[in-house]
């Protein structure tokens, strides 16, 4: 959330800073551009004016020498202005006014040539009238004072209506160098008004021309033209100081640009002087207009940026929302997996996991193992003993995950329920199948193998429901022949075929799920049955077998991930249907040795031993117990020696137990039977005979008892 | 276990009959010890009727054999059955004794 806000803030700041930089830069550029345009317009206007001014000046200057000459011939003076006018179309009026008193016969003489407004023909008038009093007019006075040419202030033509005029005057000197007359050329400024008005740098920009005295000559507000000076205008304006500065600069004949506030807006005034005339041209640009383009673009950019930001916020919201959703889903998944694992642990806890499971039983050596895959699977095994029968099963639920795990729990419960009173594996499986297929809406099935081993008789009854056949380990290792049948949960009412085989001492059954046979290495090879068979070779305890297989699988699989549960069950039968045990208890009286032959005879009969074997067994047994009878207990005290004889198909064992003082006959040194008579010791022959006759001799001191076990293999 | 001793021309014949097990050995031990005093003569241990022998019996035989060796006498074992011969083999007695005939009347 914080990150999101930060992101928006940073994006906004970046965009805004960029926009501001862009805006400032654009403004500068635009102002530069505007200045260039204004200056170039001013320049071109000035050129245009100068062109007219030059023509007017030339018209006068070109006639000066003629005018000087005419001073000698007063009759011809009137022809001078006529000539000026006729030769120069820009000139609208011209006079040659004699300095009063220069010519005594002509005290005031100023013939004026002008064009008829209608016909355009040149007509002659006289300015030497009393009411006009030309010697007092500016165009006459100024060049007299200056002794040089002079451009008059603009003025409205008195006889020609509203035509704005200006006059170029030049002194005419006689041969003595004395000013004798003033020659003038009037030009109309109408073209100027028109021309200047046409210059439009920007739609709302306007132009002004002021005279050297500050008279407004050209201006869009017509009421101001020739009515007001810029100084008067400035006095009435809101930004007097700025305007005054502009005015002073313009009147001083400077060129430049200055900002001025007018009617609440900032304006930029570009101004430039017009040579000789003393005029000043100016262009006024309202700032608003100047930057309106930039402002429009800036506005557009700002709107786009806002839209972008809005989109960014929307996208961020969607993203964070999705993220939150994803996170929530992930947490849910994790929680579910967690719960699933707990459920699985509970199930696993129901399955017997303590090994060896029946430590008190010598006739059974059983081990099992589940290596669960990362994903929760549905393997199971189970076993228990009831009525001297071992009930065991292994199963693999189709699929993985929660459903498989649940079905596995159900399967295990059903196995326990059905096998509680039923001894036939086929019946157990049939009942389980009916129960499962009745309610199996998810169409999950379980491959299942169930066996019931009669521990006394060594009889194994079994039934397979679609599981892979177990391996039976007798003298050789081979697959247990199984009817395939259908897995559990597929077909209600299906009959399962039961099979049976008989177990001998040391036979074993190895059951597993396809997690073992189909364990894959990185090259996707499967562990396979051949490897299983190879690994099972050799007589070992069940747990050793399982450890062995785990190691081999682990070596084979290497880094490849375990994709399925790996479940194994090893049932190692150590009982024997022919096995019997016989017991003989003797007092510590040497005469009791006489009881041995009959005891050995009974044992030997069961073991179907020949005469020699009986003789040897008798001898070994006598040797083993005679010492005990004679020396284990202090003289005069009663003591007993217990003999337990165990006979199975392959061995005869005697376990001799007494409670006398500790005595380990196996610790005795071996006698040298090849020694000469003199070197032969009298003792040591007894234990030598036991060792020679029997295959294993072992001694144990346990619970204050000497336990000597001697075994003969057949 | 019964033992019958007969003397004829410096030859002492000892006839064993029954099982020479630990109790049996204990029973005949005094007679045998006395016989060891006469070990300078030739002693024939007739095992025709001996059906069983344990290390206690072997010890008696060995004692006589040692006594004979000491006194310059001679021990001859006559007629042992296969079972006892087997025991002799296991204990190296075949090399220690002069054995005449392996016939046996009383082997089960």
A548 pLDDT band (50/70/90 cuts)?
A: very high
> How would DSSP label each residue in B30-86?
HHHHHHHTTTTSEEEEEEEEEEEE-HHHHHHHHHHHHHHHHHT-EEEEE---HHHHH
Q: For A505-545, write each residue's pLDDT tens digit.
A: 889 999 999 999 999 888 888 999 999 999 998 888 899 99
Residue-wise pLDDT tens digits, A333-358: 888 878 777 776 776 777 888 888 98
Cβ–Cβ gap B56/A683 under 8 Å:
no
pLDDT at B86: 93
Answer whether residue B107 is part of any domain.
no
Contacts of A176 (CB under 8 A, 6+ apart): none
Taking the alpha carbons at both ends of chain B, their separation in whole angstroms is: 16
**Model confidence pLDDT, tens digit, residues A668-697:** 888 888 888 888 888 889 999 999 999 999
The pLDDT value recorded for residue A159 is: 59
Q: What are the structure tokens assigned to B4, written together?
A: 């019958």
Chain A contact for B63 (CB, 8 A cutoff): yes
A360-409 pLDDT, tens digit per residue, is: 888 899 999 988 876 667 889 999 998 889 999 999 998 877 778 888 88
Sign of the Cα torsion A662, A666, A669, A675 reads: positive
Closest CB to A590: pick one of B23, B91, B96.
Answer: B23
Q: Give the DSSP per-residue string, A340-361.
A: HHHHHHHHHHHS---SSS-TT-
Chain A interface test: which of B52, B55, B77, B89 (most A C-beta within 10 Å): B55
Q: What is the mean pLDDT of residues A187-205?
A: 79
Residue A508, strand partner residues: A473, A572
In a domain, B106, yes or no: no
Q: Which domains does chain A show, CATH number per domain?
A: 2-190 (3.30.450.20), 200-290 (3.30.450.20), 351-573 (3.60.40.10), 580-713 (3.30.565.10)
Q: What is the distance between the alpha carbons of residues A179 and B71, in angstroms, rounded to a whole number?
A: 199
Other CB atoms closer than 10 Å to residue A328's CB: what's the count?
A: 10
Q: Which residues of A touch B54 (CB under 8 A)?
A: 619, 622-623, 626, 686, 689
Distance of alpha carbon A192 from alpha carbon A220, whole angstroms = 13
* Among B81, B62, B22, residue whose Cα is nearest residue A624: B22
Chain A residues in contact with B63 by the CB 8 A cut-off are 682
Beta strands in A146-278 (DSSP E): 150-151, 155-156, 164-173, 179-188, 206-210, 216-218, 256-262, 265-274
- The Cα–Cα gap between B34 and B46 comes to 17
Residue B87 lies in a domain: yes
Query: Would you call A677 an interface residue with chain B, using a CB distance cutoff of 8 Å?
Result: yes
Q: Do A623 and B54 touch (CB under 8 A)?
A: yes
Lowest pLDDT segment from A157-161, A237-241, A322-326, A467-471? A157-161
Quick one: what percent of chain A has pLDDT higher than 90?
30
Calpha distance A522→A627 (Å, rounded): 65
Cα separation, A541 vs A506, in Å, equals 10
Query: CA of A685, closest CA in chain B: separation in Å?
Result: 6
Q: In chain A, helix, strand, coil percent, each to 5?
A: 40, 25, 30
Give me the residue from B58, B65, B83 closest to A685, CB to CB: B58
A650 and A606 Cβ atoms separated by less than 8 Å:
no
**Residues of chain A neighbouring B39 (CB-CB closer than 8 A):** none
How far apart, in whole angstroms, are the C-alpha atoms of residue A457 and residue A467? Answer: 26
Does any CB of chain A come closer than 8 Å to the CB of residue B77?
no
CA distances from A449 to A126, A350, A482 (A): 146, 19, 10
Preferred mutation among B18, B21, B71 to probe A, highest tally of A CBs within 10 A: B21
Check pLDDT > 90 for residue A297: no
Q: Are A679 and A686 in contact (CB under 8 A)?
A: no
Report helix, strand or coil for A706.
Answer: strand
Look at strands B11-20 and B42-53 and give their pairing: parallel
Instruction: Check the CA dihedral A53-A59-A62-A63 and report its sign.
Output: negative
Identify the residue whose tokens are 């041995």: A596
Question: Average pLDDT of A141-169?
Answer: 82
Q: Exposed e or buried b for every residue in A444-469, given b needs 16+ CB within 10 A?
A: bbbbbbbbbbbbeebebbbbbbbbbb
Chain B: residue nearest A613 by CA?
B83
Q: Do A611 and B83 touch (CB under 8 A)?
A: yes
A473 pLDDT band, cuts 50/70/90, is: very high
Tokens for A87, please give them.
Answer: 């030769």
What pLDDT is recorded for position A714?
A: 83
- Mean pLDDT over A596-604 rounds to 92
Convert the pLDDT of each residue in A432-458 to its tens digit. 999 988 876 777 899 999 999 998 888
- The set of residues, in sequence order, having a beta carbon less than 8 Å from that of A547 and lying 6+ positions away, is none
Close Cβ partners of A22 (under 8 Å, ≥ 6 residues apart): A298, A301
Is B94 a member of any domain?
Answer: yes
Average pLDDT over residues A6-24: 82
Domain for residue B108, yes or no? no
B108 contacts chain A (CB < 8 A): yes
DSSP helix/strand/coil, A24: helix
A619 contacts chain B (CB < 8 A): yes
- Give the SS3 label for residue B99: strand
Q: How distant is the Cα of A682 from the closest Cα of chain B, in angstroms?
A: 6
Quote the tokens at residue B44.
């024939």
Question: Minimal Cα–Cα distance from A683 to chain B, Å?
Answer: 7
- pLDDT of A578 reads 59
Measure CA A178 to chain center. 100
Tell me what pLDDT residue A598 has. Answer: 93
Number of separate domains in chain B = 1
Nearest-CB residue to B63 (from A630, A674, A682) = A682
Interface contact flag, B56 A626, Cβ < 8 Å? yes
For residue B62, what is the domain's CATH number? 3.30.750.24
State how far the Cα of A95 lies from the Cα of A714, in Å rounded to an integer: 167
- Residue B62 included in any domain: yes
Q: To the nearest 10°, the Cα dihedral for A529, A354, A565, A438?
A: 100
- Is residue B69, in this structure, part of any structural domain at all? yes
Question: Does ipTM top 0.90?
Answer: yes
Chains A–B, number of C-beta pairs less than 8 Å apart: 67
CA angle A606, A610, A615 (to 5 degrees): 100
* Host H or E run for residue A316: helix A292-350
- Cβ atoms of A395 and A447 closer than 8 Å: yes
- Tokens linked to A159: 């006889």
Q: Give the tens place of pLDDT for each residue, A91-123.
A: 888 999 999 888 888 888 899 998 877 787 888
Pairing of strands A265-274, A256-262: antiparallel
- pLDDT of B12-48, one tens digit each? 999 999 999 999 999 999 999 999 999 999 999 999 9
Percent of chain A with pLDDT over 70: 97
For residue A1, name the pLDDT band (cuts at 50, 70, 90): low
Which of B62, B107, B59, B60 shows the shortest CA–CA distance to B83? B107
Confidence of residue B107 (pLDDT cuts 50, 70, 90): very low
Mean pLDDT, chain A, rounded, equals 86
Rounded mean pLDDT of A414-422? 92
CB atoms within 10 A of CB A158: 9
Query: Distance between CA A271 and CA A280 in Å, rounded?
Result: 7
Three-state secondary structure readout of A85-104: HHHCCCEEEEEEEECCCCEC
Q: Is B31 on the interface with A (CB under 8 A)?
A: no
Closest chain A CA to residue B53: A619
Q: Is A670 on the interface with B (CB under 8 A)?
A: no
List, for residues A228-252, the tens digit of each pLDDT value.
888 888 888 777 888 888 888 888 8
Average pLDDT of chain B, as a whole number: 89
User: What CA–CA distance (Å, rounded) separates A287 from A444?
Assistant: 84
Tell me which residue in B55, B87, B96 faces A677 most closely, judged by beta carbons: B96
A174 neighbors A71 (Cβ within 8 angstroms) = yes
Q: Is the pLDDT of residue A586 over 60?
A: yes
Q: Is residue A577 predicted with pLDDT exceeding 60?
A: no
Chain A CB contacts of B21 under 8 Å are: 593-594, 622
**d(Cα A340, Cα A338) in Å, to the nearest integer?**
5
- The whole domain housing B50 covers 2-100
Asked if A590 has any chain B CB less than 8 Å from its own CB, the reply is yes
Asked if A461 and A408 touch (Cβ cutoff 8 Å), the reply is no
Measuring CA to CA, which residue among A112, A110, A114, A154 is closest to residue A133? A110
The whole-number pLDDT of residue A688 equals: 93
Residue of chain A whose Cα is closest to the Cα of B62: A682
Confidence class of residue A576 from pLDDT cuts 50, 70 and 90? low
What are the tens digits of pLDDT across the range A51-75? 888 888 888 888 888 888 888 888 8
Q: How far is B9 from chain A (nearest CA, A)?
A: 26
**With an 8 Å Cβ cutoff, are A677 and B66 in contact?**
yes
**Contact residues, chain B, for A688 at CB < 8 Å:** 90-91
Distance from CA of B28 to the nearest CA of A (A): 14
Residue A448 and residue A500 in contact, taking contact as beta carbons nearer than 8 Å: no
- Domain assignment present for B105: no
- Give the mean model confidence (pLDDT) for residues A30-38: 83
Interface check B49 vs A, CB under 8 A:
no
């Amino acid at each position: 959330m914080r990150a999101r806000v930060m992101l928006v803030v940073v994006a906004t700041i970046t965009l805004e800073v960029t926009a501001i930089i862009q805006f400032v830069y654009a403004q500068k550029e635009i102002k530069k551009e505007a200045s260039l345009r204004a200056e170039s317009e001013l320049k071109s206007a000035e050129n245009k004016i100068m062109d007219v001014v030059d023509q007017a000046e030339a018209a006068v200057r070109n006639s000066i020498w003629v005018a000087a000459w005419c001073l000698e011939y007063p009759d011809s003076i009137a022809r001078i202005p006529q000539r000026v006018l006729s030769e120069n179309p820009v000139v609208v009026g011209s006079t040659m006014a004699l300095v009063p008193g220069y010519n005594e016969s002509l005290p005031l003489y100023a013939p004026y040539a002008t064009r008829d407004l209608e016909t355009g023909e040149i007509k002659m008038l006289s300015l030497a009238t009393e009411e006009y009093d030309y010697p007092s007019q500016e165009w006459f006075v100024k060049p007299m004072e200056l002794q040089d040419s002079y451009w008059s202030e603009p003025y409205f033509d008195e006889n020609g209506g509203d035509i704005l005029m200006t006059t170029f005057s030049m002194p005419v000197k006689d041969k003595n160098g004395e000013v004798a007359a003033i020659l003038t050329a009037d030009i109309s400024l109408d073209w100027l008004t028109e021309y200047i008005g046409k210059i439009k740098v920007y739609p709302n920009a306007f132009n002004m021309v002021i005279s050297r005295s500050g008279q407004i000559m050209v201006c869009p507000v017509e009421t101001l033209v020739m009515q007001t000076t810029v100084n008067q205008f400035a006095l009435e304006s809101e930004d007097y100081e700025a305007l005054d500065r502009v005015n002073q600069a313009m009147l001083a004949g400077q060129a430049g640009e200055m900002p001025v506030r007018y009617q609440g807006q900032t304006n930029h005034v570009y101004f430039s002087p017009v040579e000789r005339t003393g005029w000043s041209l100016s262009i006024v640009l309202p700032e608003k207009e100047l930057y309106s383009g930039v402002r429009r673009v800036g506005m557009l950019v700002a709107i786009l940026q806002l839209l972008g930001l809005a989109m960014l916020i929307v996208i961020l919201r969607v993203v964070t929302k999705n993220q939150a959703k994803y996170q929530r889903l992930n947490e849910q998944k994790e929680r579910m997996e967690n719960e699933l694992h707990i459920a699985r642990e509970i199930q696993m806890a129901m399955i017997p996991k303590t090994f060896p499971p029946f430590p008190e039983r010598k006739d059974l050596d059983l081990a099992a193992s589940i290596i669960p895959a990362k994903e929760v699977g549905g393997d199971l095994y189970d076993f228990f003993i009831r009525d001297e029968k071992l009930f065991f099963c292994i199963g693999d639920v189709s699929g993985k995950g929660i459903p498989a795990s649940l079905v596995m729990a159900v399967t295990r419960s059903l196995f326990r329920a059905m096998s509680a009173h039923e001894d036939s594996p086929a019946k157990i499986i049939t009942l389980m199948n009916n129960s499962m297929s009745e309610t199996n809406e998810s169409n999950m099935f379980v491959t299942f193998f169930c066996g019931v081993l009669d521990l006394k008789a060594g009889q194994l009854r079994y039934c397979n429901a679609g599981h892979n056949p177990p391996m039976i380990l007798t003298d050789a290792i081979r697959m247990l022949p199984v009817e395939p049948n259908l897995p559990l949960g597929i077909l209600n009412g299906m009959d399962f075929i039961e099979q049976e085989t008989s177990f001998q001492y040391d036979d074993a059954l190895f059951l597993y799920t396809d997690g073992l046979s189909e364990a894959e290495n990185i090259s996707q090879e499967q562990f396979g049955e051949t490897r299983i068979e190879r690994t099972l070779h050799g007589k070992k305890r069940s747990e050793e077998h399982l450890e062995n297989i785990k190691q081999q699988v682990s070596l084979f699989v290497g880094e490849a991930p375990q994709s399925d549960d790996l479940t194994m069950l090893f049932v190692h039968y150590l009982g024997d249907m022919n096995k019997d045990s016989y017991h003989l208890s003797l007092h510590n009286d040497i005469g009791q040795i006489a009881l041995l032959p009959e005891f050995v005879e009974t044992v030997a009969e069961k073991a179907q031993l020949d005469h020699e074997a009986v003789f040897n067994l008798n001898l070994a047994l006598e040797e083993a117990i005679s010492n005990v009878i004679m020396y284990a207990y202090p003289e005069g005290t009663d003591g007993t020696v217990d003999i337990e004889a165990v006979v199975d198909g392959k061995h005869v064992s005697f376990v001799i137990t007494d409670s006398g003082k500790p005595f380990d006959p196996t610790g005795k040194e071996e006698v040298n039977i090849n020694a000469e008579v003199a070197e032969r010791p009298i003792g040591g022959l007894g234990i030598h005979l036991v060792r020679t006759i029997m295959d294993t001799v072992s001694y144990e001191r346990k619970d204050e008892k000497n336990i000597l076990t001697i075994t003969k293999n057949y | 276990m019964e033992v019958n001793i007969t003397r004829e021309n410096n030859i002492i014949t000892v006839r064993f009959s029954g099982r020479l097990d630990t109790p049996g050995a204990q029973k005949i031990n005094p007679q045998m010890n006395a016989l060891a005093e006469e070990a300078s003569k030739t002693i024939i241990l007739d095992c025709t009727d001996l059906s069983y022998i344990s290390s206690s019996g072997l010890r008696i035989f060995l004692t006589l054999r040692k006594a004979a060796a000491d006194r310059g006498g001679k021990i001859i074992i006559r007629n042992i059955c296969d079972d006892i011969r087997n025991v002799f083999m296991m204990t190296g007695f075949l090399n220690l004794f002069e054995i005449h005939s392996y016939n046996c009347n009383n082997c089960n």
